[in-house]
A = this chain, B = another copy of it.
Amino acid sequence: MCGPVVMAAVRSEMDRRGLFGAAGAALLAGAIGARSARATRQATPVGGAVTGQGTVALGSFTAIVDLSHTITPGFPLFPGGTPFELSSLQTYEADGYYGNRISVDEHTATHMDAPAHFDPEGVTADLLPVTGFVAPLAVVDISGRAATDDDAQLAPDDILAWEAANGPLPAGAFLAMFSGWEARLADPATFLNQAEDGTLHFPGFHPDATRLLVDERDIVGIGVDTMSLDFGASADFATHVTALTAGKYGLESLANLGTLPASGATIIVGGPKHQSASGGPARVFALV
């Protein structure tokens, strides 16, 4: 549906980065062709242990908060998505134990968007450095505006206001938008909030805020408690393009952000690790 528009946005961003010089648009097609070869080559049986990160003080915490929703067949999906399916493999009665096969669209419920989701040159989720999966967590609360504006966007001023209250964004931070939208999961159609003309309406990051974070701060990723890093009415996924082509990862449909302090928590991201992952279900925690 929005394929050509998104395609143009990706190309525009790559052009901005000087990736479309003499080679022109052919590079994009070439990079697409190279994807599977690269992913196959880099994915080794043994996981990518990373050592020598340098000492990071975690201190102590008094609570662990689950930031992942339960994946169910009824969890809201983008139009055209296929619901989560659980099919029985073993039963107590027949086998003495219980097991299933699961099928799920990568971008279902609480999940990661890897750079490769929007960047043909970007890393897939299984290959992201794990050093970015434990990070200082900044929660920017726009729930006041979102309560009266379904198209609310986290703006540069929201980031500056957060810093005025909490100090500079820590190096290597993960910044999450809290809009209060998860309360709508009690009535899933209101979480997606699709108008009669097909347009979705829910809060997200304004591209200018994303640009500020990517260019002028040091972040590992951004997250939202809605279905998309971009607000629902976005026609070009400009926040996705800006964040993911800069090598950052995204987390969508985060839970329980409203229970966290604006500053001082640590996020731990149990990202997906299947080969060639554009993203996938993630188990995310906050230590508070």
Q: How far is the CB of A245 from chain B (nearest CB, A)?
A: 11
Of A81-89, A163-171, A211-219, the segment with at least 4 beta carbons within 8 Å of chain B is: A81-89
Q: Is A206 an interface residue (CB 8 A)?
A: no
- Chain copies in the assembly? 2
Closest B residue by C-beta to A182: B46
User: Chain A residues in contact with chain B, CB under 8 A?
Assistant: 2-10, 28-29, 31-32, 35, 43-73, 75, 82, 84, 86, 89-107, 110, 116-118, 120, 126, 130-131, 133-134, 182, 185-186, 188, 237, 240, 255-256, 259, 268-285, 287-288
Asked whether, in the complex, the Cβ of B66 is within 8 Å of the Cβ of A43, the reply is: no
A64 / chain B contacts, CB cutoff of 8 Å: 50, 53, 130-131, 133-134
Q: How far is the CB of A10 from chain B (nearest CB, A)?
A: 6
Asked whether, in the complex, the Cβ of A63 is within 8 Å of the Cβ of B51, the reply is: yes
A48 to B283, CA, bound (A): 12
Asked whether, in the complex, the Cβ of A47 is within 8 Å of the Cβ of B62, the reply is: no
Closest B residue by C-beta to A11: B96
Closest B residue by C-beta to A284: B270
Asked whether, in the complex, the Cβ of B103 is within 8 Å of the Cβ of A107, the reply is: no
A46 to B89, CA, bound (A): 27
A50 to B62, CA, bound (A): 10
A52 to B134, CA, bound (A): 21
A280 to B4, CA, bound (A): 36
Asked whether, in the complex, the Cβ of B117 is within 8 Å of the Cβ of A273, the reply is: no
Asked whether, in the complex, the Cβ of B185 is within 8 Å of the Cβ of A45, the reply is: yes
Q: How far is the CB of A170 from chain B (nearest CB, A)?
A: 15
Which of B50, B96, B277 touches A7 (beta carbons < 8 Å)? B96
A279 to B100, CA, bound (A): 9
Asked whether, in the complex, the Cβ of A91 is within 8 Å of the Cβ of B32, the reply is: yes
Which of B62, B75, B93, B279 touches A55 (beta carbons < 8 Å)? B62
Asked whether, in the complex, the Cβ of B255 is within 8 Å of the Cβ of A46, the reply is: yes
Asked whether, in the complex, the Cβ of B93 is within 8 Å of the Cβ of A68, the reply is: no
Asked whether, in the complex, the Cβ of A61 is within 8 Å of the Cβ of B70, the reply is: no
Q: How far is the CB of A40 from chain B (nearest CB, A)?
A: 9
9 extra interchain contacts, Cβ-Cβ under 8 A, other than A6-B96, A82-B101, A270-B282?
A3-B96, A44-B70, A45-B186, A52-B63, A55-B62, A56-B62, A86-B275, A103-B103, A133-B285
